[in-house]
């Protein structure tokens, strides 16, 4: 058997009637969920930050209601640079690790908060890392997938100033701590699908559910690609297969 994890990212939900870079982000989130769920039923959903462009509790409640209208799978949300953590908590967004059981194997989905309210670039504190280390302790589970908002690999020049720059150092230490059971990293923020490696781990960035940014751009540029998402298939031997999709598919 395998586990299917749906990653949605950078939904940038606005107030009703408003748009983000010309997109009706509520409508495109609904369309992304509908398209993804026609492919698979997810065992879990990861929402990797920038859930709201208008970071108010009402926006997060609407996000939760939108997801719940289409899927009942466990949900792991984490904040991005456009989010306010307090508002996410006020809306009761689920932000705890998820253990997914597949016959005799448990995959743990964990999040690292790389955001600080009102700061575009990544901020990973000692407390954030201590929390992550704690999440990756114990013998109950066999493999883990880590989700963050900001990338740990270079993507586009104008976005590289926002990345988590020192990840390879603490990831190596974390891998020793958890006996190399961490098997991959997913993130959002860059509004495009890329595959990289950090500290010997596969690292995937994921398209936005609304507007994409142009790859390899020197400066901010919007791409014409449609809203997107990512599927991750978690195998019982610790392997991860993954693919990104766009509504035009």
d(CA 90, CA 51): 14
Give the residue with the Cβ less far from Fe ion, 10 or 162.
10
Applying CB under 5 A, the site for Fe ion has a residue count of 2
Bridge partner list, 25: none
Give the residue with the Cβ less far from Fe ion, 10 or 43.
10
83 counts as binding Fe ion under rule CB under 5 A: no
10 counts as binding Fe ion under rule CB under 5 A: yes
Question: Directed axis angle between helix 126-135 and helix 167-177, to 10°?
Answer: 30
Give the residue with the Cβ less far from Fe ion, 185 or 190.
190
Give the residue with the Cβ less far from Fe ion, 50 or 162.
50
Residue for token pair 């990840």: 167
174: left (phi over 0), alpha (psi -120 to 50) or beta: alpha
Q: Which of residues 200-239 bind Fe ion (CB under 5 A)?
A: none
Q: x/- binding map, residues 39-68, to Fe ion, per CB under 5 A? A: -----------x------------------
Residue for token pair 């883990």: 144
- The nearest distance, CB 70 to Fe ion, in angstroms, is 21
Contact by Cβ (8 Å): 10, 210: yes
- The nearest distance, CB 99 to Fe ion, in angstroms, is 28
Question: Directed axis angle between helix 57-70 and helix 25-39, to 10°?
Answer: 30
- The nearest distance, CB 97 to Fe ion, in angstroms, is 23
Only one of the segments 4-12, 156-164, 198-206, 215-223 lies at the binding site for Fe ion (rule: CB under 5 A); that segment is 4-12
Residue 144 vs residues 59, 93, 150, 174, 243: alpha-carbon distances, Å: 30, 21, 18, 12, 18
Residues contributing to the site for Fe ion (CB under 5 A): 10, 50
């Amino acid at each position: 058997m395998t586990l299917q994890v749906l990653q949605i990212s950078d939904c940038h939900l606005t107030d009703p009637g408003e748009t983000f870079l010309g997109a009706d982000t509520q409508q495109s989130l609904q369309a992304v969920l509908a398209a993804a769920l026609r492919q698979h039923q997810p065992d879990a959903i990861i929402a990797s930050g920038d859930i709201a462009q208008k970071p108010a509790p009402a926006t997060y409640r609407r996000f939760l209601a939108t997801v719940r209208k289409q899927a009942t799978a466990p949900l792991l949300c984490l904040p991005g640079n456009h989010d306010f953590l307090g508002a996410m908590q006020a809306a009761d967004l689920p932000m705890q690790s998820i253990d997914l059981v597949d016959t005799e194997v448990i995959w743990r989905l964990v999040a690292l908060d790389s955001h600080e309210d009102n700061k575009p670039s990544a901020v990973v504190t000692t407390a954030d890392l201590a929390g992550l280390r704690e999440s990756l302790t114990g013998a109950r589970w066999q493999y883990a997938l880590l989700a963050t908002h900001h990338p740990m690999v270079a993507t586009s020049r104008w976005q590289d100033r926002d990345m988590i720059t020192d990840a390879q150092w603490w990831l190596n230490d974390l891998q020793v701590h958890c006996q190399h059971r961490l098997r991959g990293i997913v993130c959002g923020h860059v509004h495009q699908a890329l595959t990289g490696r950090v500290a010997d781990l596969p690292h995937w960035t994921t398209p936005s559910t609304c507007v994409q940014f142009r790859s390899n751009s020197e400066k901010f540029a919007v791409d014409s690609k449609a809203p997107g998402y990512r599927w991750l298939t978690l195998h019982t031997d610790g392997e991860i297969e993954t693919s990104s999709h766009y509504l035009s598919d």
